């Protein structure tokens, strides 16, 4: 788990932040993988976005998934996705609404 204050580099997780924005994020090793996965997951209503600075990925494109879209998105990806686990990463991200704090945890689909 990564706990960041955007003003600082990185620190240990010290508790839960109140009033969080929550979402899930898929990052990819290639632009081709990002675009093909976005097409696959389009029926779930996901959107593409740049990879946030607190996460590193080689292609720079990520897919943002809301908590409401998570179940449908994961099901579509499991059924029809053809990426190997080393070609993508999946994160649960929480950001403070009023602060610049971020909690980012890599998870499995």
- Rounded Cα distance, 82 and 46, in Å: 18
Enter the pTM of the model: 0.79
Backbone angles phi, psi at 34, to 5 degrees: -65, -45
pLDDT digits (tens, 9 = 90+) for 24-35: 999 999 999 999
> How many structural domains compose the chain?
1
Pair 102, 7: CB distance under 8 Å: no
pLDDT of 99 over the 90 cut: no
- Rounded Cα distance, 16 and 49, in Å: 26
Q: How confident is the model at residue 5 (pLDDT cuts 50, 70, 90)?
A: very low
Task: Tell me the CATH number at 67.
Answer: 3.30.70
pLDDT digits (tens, 9 = 90+) for 31-63: 999 999 999 999 999 999 999 888 876 689 999
pLDDT of 15 over the 50 cut: no
- Rounded Cα distance, 12 and 40, in Å: 36
Q: What angle do CA 56, 41, 45 make, to 5 degrees?
A: 100
Q: How confident is the model at residue 1 (pLDDT cuts 50, 70, 90)?
A: low
Q: CA of 29: how far to CAs of 22, 23, 69, 75, in Å?
A: 23, 20, 23, 21
Domain that includes residue 67, residue range: 2-10+17-107
Neighbours of 21 (CB within 10 A): 10
């Amino acid at each position: 788990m990564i706990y960041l204050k955007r003003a600082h580099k990185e620190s240990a997780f010290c508790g839960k932040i109140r009033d969080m924005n929550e979402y899930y994020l898929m990052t990819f090793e290639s632009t081709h993988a990002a675009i093909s996965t976005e097409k696959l997951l389009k029926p779930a209503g996901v959107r593409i976005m740049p990879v946030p600075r607190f996460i590193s990925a080689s292609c720079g494109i990520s897919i943002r998934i809301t908590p409401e879209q998570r179940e449908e998105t994961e099901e579509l990806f499991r059924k029809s996705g053809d990426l190997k686990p080393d070609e993508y990463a999946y994160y649960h991200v929480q950001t403070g609404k009023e602060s610049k704090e971020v909690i980012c945890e890599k998870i499995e689909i």
